[in-house]
Structure 1
Amino acid sequence: MRITATLMLVVMAGLFILSKQYLDLHPSWGYLHAFSEAAMVGGLADWFAVTALFRHPMGIPIPHTAIIPENKDRIAETMAQFLRTNFLIPAVVARRMGHMNIARAAGDFLAHPTKGSQSRIGLGAAELLAGILESLDPDRLGGQVKAGLKSQAAKIEISPLLGQMLSTTIADRRHLPLIDSIVRWSGLTLEDNEEMVREMISERANGVIRWVGLDGRLSASVLDGMYKLLAEVLVDPDHPLRGKIEEGLEQLAHDLVHDPKMKARVEKMKAEVLENEAVARWWEGVWERMRQGMIRMARNPDTVLGGQLGNSLGELGAALRDDPRLQTQVNRFARRTAVGVATRYGDQIVRLVSETVRRWDARTLTDRVENAVGRDLQFIRINGTLVGGLVGVTIHFVDGLF
């Protein structure tokens, strides 16, 4: 646009020179001469005015030129005060926010996003989550989480909880599969260690029994009896040994809740577990696997686009769009947040704007302002050239009448 305005000025100069050569041939050349002459005056005047806003014309330090660079600090202060006065007053913010249904607008967008926007939202949220997880120091964060869990676990008295859980389990008869599993495990363990049991029985038998070779029969009888007992317990739901086991479990549940000594033993065991380094290392490994798993899920496009995140955003949008009460709550929260930000941080925002503009060098400020309104400024030059030419033609016409 600057080149266009300058070329127009050059064209007017060429027309001025050309028309001057033919003034005596016809009166119309006089109008063209007057038009081009006045257009050059108007174009040059507006070029001077536009240039004077940003720099010294032709590098000459004419007074009241380079207005923006020379008044940079005052402009910064004026911009900041304008922002503070017109936008960051709590009453103004509340009034403007009162007419906005932010929740409904967000709900419409999330429920019916434009093509590709849902994908971009999902990818953006997932990438943000992955970035946060990757930026965290695994060792430090794992240590902090471990310390937090340890602190919370230390405050919880787990003995009554365990007792109540055990009592509820027994009352609901959900302990029976556990007893069956214990019996089966006992049988398998006995089967895997038969030789050791035989040796133990043989070692404890007296010399006469070993001398006559009855220790083998004795150990076989003992093993057979144990196998038979376990089998009977497993198939008979009313076996007396089951009753004894249940009595023991009921007593354990009672002691966990009411016996101070049992409570103390459980708390001591809990403290030892919490202080155990192996448990700490195990938790750190669990946390790191969880963190890496969440990063992989966030970086997986299939998970982001077709999974829970996209569906959740759609459901949230539908709720915001269709539920007036939810809209009222969200809008009230947004309004209070905006008013709170304006109240607490308005001065800091204004100071940030002012100090940022003050820190800009004059050339940076000039370039940014000129680039922002540059086309309109060059249209001022073009309009000045044309308007000046029309004024020149008018003056020439009026002069010819008198």
Structure 2
Amino acid sequence: MKLLARATGNGETIPTGLRRMRWIATGLLVLMAATFLAARAFDHVHPAIGFVRAFAEAAMVGGLADWFAVTALFRHPLGLPIPHTAIIPRNKDRIGETLAAFLRDNFLVPGVVARRMRQLDVAGAAGRWLASPAGTQGRLRKGASRLAANMLEAFDPQRLGGMVKTTIGQRLRALDISPLLGQALTAAIAERRHAPLLDGIIRWAAKVLSANEHMIRAMVHERAGSVMRWTGLDETLANKIIDGLDNLLHDMAEDSDHPLRAKAEEGLTALAYDLQHDEKMRLRVEALKAEIIENPAMQRWLDGLWESARAGMLRIARDPDAALTGQLGEALRQLGDTLQHDEMLRATINRFVRRTAVGMAADYGDGIVRLVSETVRGWDARTITRRLENAVGKDLQYIRVNGTLVGGLVGLVIHAVDVSL
């Protein structure tokens, strides 16, 4: 159950549990003070009252001492500038540097990362997770899915989408697409996979011709002389042109060895060669690629692509059991089984993950360290005090409670020894 929190003056919040423990610790101290005063007033009534007084007195001293110690960590007790108090606010820069150094020395050194990653079987763990039945590790799956969904929702969609779009654009700009197109076209021609493309072009041309017969007739009529129009020869000429083109397209569609098809194949072969070896063609393709990438329609398509991918990832994260059903689930289970039993594949993936982690530590470790140090340094004293105090939570207040009770027990023992002597 989530605890409610109360906002403080600087925008931070105090968890309800922490606030309750503060009241308990302070109330116990006040109770001990009241008990001490009452026992001191009635000390003469019975010798046993002395034990109560000794317990309350020592408990009060112990509680006050621990209250002072706990308070001195975060602020000046009672607002008095006592030396060696308000330790955390005065040393926040050093704390940030120490925390950053701890991260660097224990987590972000490439050698340390490599040594720890060598002990992890990431591929095997992923394989077991993917191959497990739907009912196994349900809590782990749901927890991981909820975490993934929360992370996706927490990221700024516009900013993250812009980063994704920029990355895709950079990759497309860096890709030398002309040789790839040439190689793909050469392979298609060699395996006769270009024939359906030519057939499609011919069918498309036939449909265009059929849909635009009136335009051809109008053009012939406009360009024909008055004699041809008077005799009706313009209509005959237009019919001949249309019939000739239609017969030509029909012959090309039916005859795979038609001379015009052979010319088209020669043109495709020359285009494939130029795409791979002609510098001018490569530059033209690069210019066309850059124009397409910068086109607003392409940018909108990339935005929609990211939004669709994000929505799909959110659907999978929110309902992992549904995502693991059907063909996708079967494919993931087969992948998990392969990862568990294919030693070479598992070793390859683990090596890749280890090298990736080591590379990230080497490339970004110093940046992460600086980020931590500069972030802590940028906090004001009140912010870091409140955040650390809330992070430690109720434990500091338990120290006050324990100090009060332990002090009382020590005072009780001392009084018992004093009485016995």
Shorter chain as denominator, the TM-score bin is 0.5 to 0.7
Change (3 A) 1:289 1:194: same
Structure 2: distance between partners of 1:267 and 1:84: 49
Determine if the alignment matches structure 1 residue 66 to structure 2 residue 89: no
> How far, CA to CA, are the matches of 2:156 and 2:383 in structure 1?
36
For residues 221 and 55 of structure 1, the distance between their equivalents in structure 2, rounded to whole angstroms, comes to: 103
Greater displacement, 267-276 / 356-365: 267-276
Mapping of residues 206-355 of structure 1, within 5 Å:
246-251=258-263, 253-254=265-266, 257=269, 284=295, 287=298, 290-291=301-302, 294=305, 297-298=308-309, 304=315, 310=323, 314=329, 315-316=331-332, 318-320=334-336, 322-324=338-340, 325-355=344-374
- Secondary structure at the aligned position of 2:70 is classed as helix
Q: Which deviations, in whole Å up to 9, do the C-alpha atoms of 1:207-243 show, x marking residues without a partner?
A: xxx9xx9x67x89998999999999999999x9xx69
Post-superposition offset of 1:50: 1.9
Check conservation: 2:169, 2:293, Cα contact below 8 A.
no
Instruction: Give the Cα–Cα distance (whole angstroms) in 2 for the partners of residues 368 and 253 of structure 1.
Output: 72
Q: CA offset at residue 31 of structure 1?
A: 0.9
Task: Compute the displacement of 1:136 (Å).
Answer: 7.4
Contact 1:5 1:381 in 2 (8 A): yes
**Pairing 1:378–2:394 present:** no
1:389 aligns with 2:408: yes
What is the alpha-carbon distance in structure 2 between the residues aligned to residue 123 and residue 3 of structure 1? Answer: 34
Change (3 A) 1:81 1:317: farther
| TM-fit CA distance, 1:246 | 1.5
* Alignment size in residue pairs: 380
Give the aligned residue type for 2:109: I
List runs of 5+ in structure 1 lacking aligned partners.
Answer: none
Q: 1:57 to 1:236 in 2, by over 3 A?
A: closer
Report the Cα distance in structure 2 between the residues aligned to 1:297 and 1:234, rounded to whole angstroms. Answer: 42
Aligned partner letter, 1:250: A
- 1:63 is paired with a residue whose SS is coil
Distance change in 2, residues 1:319/1:123 (3 Å): farther
How many percent identity over aligned positions? 41
Measure, in 2, the Cα distance between the counterparts of 1:53 and 1:133.
Answer: 40
Displacement of 1:92:
2.2
Q: What SS does the aligned partner of 2:43 have? A: coil
- Choose 248-257 or 267-276, whichever is displaced more: 267-276
- Change over 3 Å in CA distance of 1:82–1:17 after alignment to 2: same
Deviation at 1:43, TM superposition (A): 1.4
Shift of 1:11: 0.9
Shift of 1:373: 2.0
The structure with the larger Rg is 1
Secondary structure at 1:14 match in 2? helix
Map 1:127-142; keep pairs closer than 5 Å: 131=158, 135=162
Post-superposition Cα deviations, 1:268-327, rounded to whole Å, max 9, x if no partner, equal 999999989xx96899476356446536644767994599x9468744465246414443
Unpaired segments ≥5 residues, structure 2: 1-20
SS of equivalent residue, structure 2 residue 82? coil
Aligned position for 2:383: 364
After superposition, the CA RMSD in angstroms is 5.5
SS in 2 for 1:62: coil
